[in-house]
Amino acid sequence: MKKFDSINVIPFIDIMLVLLAIVLTTASFVAQGKIAIELPVASTSTNESDLSTLKISIDQHRNIYVNNNAVKLIELQKQLANKDKLTPIILRVDASVPFESFVSIVDILKAEDFQHLTIKTRRRL
């Protein structure tokens, strides 16, 4: 009987590399959100994880969305008036949007006395 001293791991490595290539290829097609926004870059970016937050987005055409529902600026103020002031808010603004649009949203949040605001950015590489 022949003694079994070693295992050939090269086929295993080949299979793992193919699986890695498949995962990396398909991962690039997964959408991060329904609203296409090119976030600005910051060195202290964090991940979005809390589902109980209120998500406000402004896309490159200056359209405003609250939890993926399009709203006007006046409607946003009315919706925020009915929310709990301790509700965490995540603000996502496209990098190409003028600063004026960002300030108008922050101004409404300050007027409504919201304290927990997170500004979503991409992490600088």
- Specify the CATH number for the domain of residue 49: 3.30.420
Residue 31 clears pLDDT 50, i.e. is over it: no
Quick one: tokens of 50? 């809390």
**45, burial (CB in 10 Å: exposed 0-12, middle 13-18, buried 19+):** middle
Q: The whole model's pTM is what?
A: 0.58
Residue 97 lies in a domain: yes
| pLDDT tens digits along 74-83 | 898 888 888 8
27 CB-near residues (< 8 Å, 6+ apart): none
Domain count, the chain: 1
Question: Which candidate, 53, 54, 55, 73, places its Cα nearest to that of 63?
Answer: 73
Quick one: tokens of 28? 């690039």
Residue 65 lies in a domain: yes
Residue 74 lies in a domain: yes
Domain span at residue 64 reads 41-123
65 pLDDT band, cuts 50/70/90, is very high
Residue 89 clears pLDDT 50, i.e. is over it: yes
Strand partners, 91: 56, 119
Residue 116 lies in a domain: yes
> Mean pLDDT, to the nearest integer, of 56-80?
89
Residue 46 clears pLDDT 60, i.e. is over it: no
Residue 14 lies in a domain: no
Decide: helix, strand or coil at residue 19: helix
Residue 34 lies in a domain: no
Residue 106 lies in a domain: yes
The confidence score (pLDDT) of residue 50 equals 44
Residue 7 lies in a domain: no
